[in-house]
Each structure stands twice: as C-alpha cells, then as structure tokens.
Amino acid sequence: MSDQPVALVTGSSSGIGAAVARRLSAEGYRVAVNSARSAEAGRAVAASLPDAVHLQADISDADAARRLVEDVVTHYGRLDVLVNNAGTTRIIAHDDLAAATPEVWREILDVNLIGTWQVTVAAVPHLKAGGDGSIVNITSIAGSRPAGSSIPYAVSKAALEHLTRLLAATLGPELRVNAVAPGLIDTDWTAPLTGPREQVAALAPLRRIGTADDVAAAVLGLVRSPYTTGSVLLADGGVHLR
C-alpha cells in the first residue's frame, strides 16, 4: 500500500468540490472524485489530476454511500481525508411556506444531512486505521444566519454544523472533524444572482464574493491543523461581522 494519502471529496464534479479536489491533489493527495449524476464532468476532473479516480454514487442512497467508500478503499487501499461537500437545494422564498413541502424537506435533508451521515459512518473505520484521519464538512453561513436559498436548505446546514461538533466530540482522539461555512461563492450556480452578488460584495469587509478556491484553501487549512476539531470556519469575506 502506498504511503501517499487519499482523500474522498463528495460532490466534486464542479464548483467548490472540484476546487477542493484540485487543491488536495496539488498537496500530494490521491483524490477520489464523486458525483451523483454529472459523470462526464466528474471524469474530466479526475482525468485532470494525477492518480485520481471518479466514482459515481448518490450519497442519499444508503447502499450507494457505503459502496462509494468501499470502492475508494478497494482502489487505493486506504482513506485519510473525507470532505463532505455533496449537497442540494431548492430556491424558495422564505415566506412561501407552502412551497417548502415535506417532499422538498426530504429531498434536501436526504442529501445534505443523511447522505453526509451515511458516507461518514462508512468512512470512519478506514479513517481511523490511518492514524491521522480528518473529516471536513461543507456547510454554509445559512446554517447560522436567517439566510439561504430556502428554509429547508438553511436548516439542513444548521444541522450539519451541529453534527460536526457532535462527531468531533465522539470521534476524538483518533479523528478530527471540522467544517467550512462559505458565504456567497462564485460558481456556475450563483452566476445569475447578480443582485445578491453585488450586495454581498458591497457588504463584506473584503469587498468581494468568494471563489471556490477560497473555500478549498479553508478546507486545506483544517486538514492541516492537528489541534483543531469541532470548529466551523467561516469563509464569507467577513459578512458575519455586519
């Protein structure tokens, strides 16, 4: 088995996940790229990185989540870092309560919270085996502020923040568990949001919205921090100060 560490980044065919995959690869990690549906994009990301592999799996499916981790370990022989980035949302005005149906709640929670849980549970024994395992969850400032694309999305991210703390308290000292909470990030999904992008850039002390590479840098910082666990690192350009 190679001594080169291995990272699994869920939801990494584009945006923040792809940037995290590239950053970890640049730091010497062999990276398993994952997507639920965007197989072509996921394969392209993996092909652009040395010794990377693309594994298609919908983490909201319990069996698929378990197989995803098994496939990573089968392919590489180890797992050292798990970045839980896969997520979904619906754009629903917060005052449109009727539109946030039980079906929408289940769809969002099944991926953002339960899917993350399923991958994590499957990964923990392998992360512990390496002796220096680390989990980083990607949450959102919507998890701590009355904001976000919908109420179900914001609640899912708030739950993910608390899950981060609970897991950190439970899995130490073998594993460290932290989270990055991005603000508005420049991705294909947020490109049409001209108004909010301008508002955030004007509001943030750093006077710009974030990039996927900004989030990737925050993830790497937590992976490298041996005495940090249970932390939620804001990557929002200082918007939380306003």
Catalytic choice (29, 76, 153, 227): 153
Q: Give the C-alpha separation, 38 to 14, whole Å.
A: 9
CB neighbour list of residue 71: distance below 8 Å, 6 or more residues apart: 32, 55, 57
> Is residue 153 annotated as a catalytic residue, yes or no?
yes
C-beta of residue 91 within 8 angstroms of C-beta of residue 150: yes
End-to-end CA distance of the chain: 49
Question: How long, in residues, is the chain?
Answer: 242
Q: Determine the number of helices (DSSP H) and then strands (DSSP E) in the chain.
A: 8, 9
> In which element (H, E) is residue 194 found?
helix 194-203
Task: Point out the residues that are catalytic.
Answer: 153
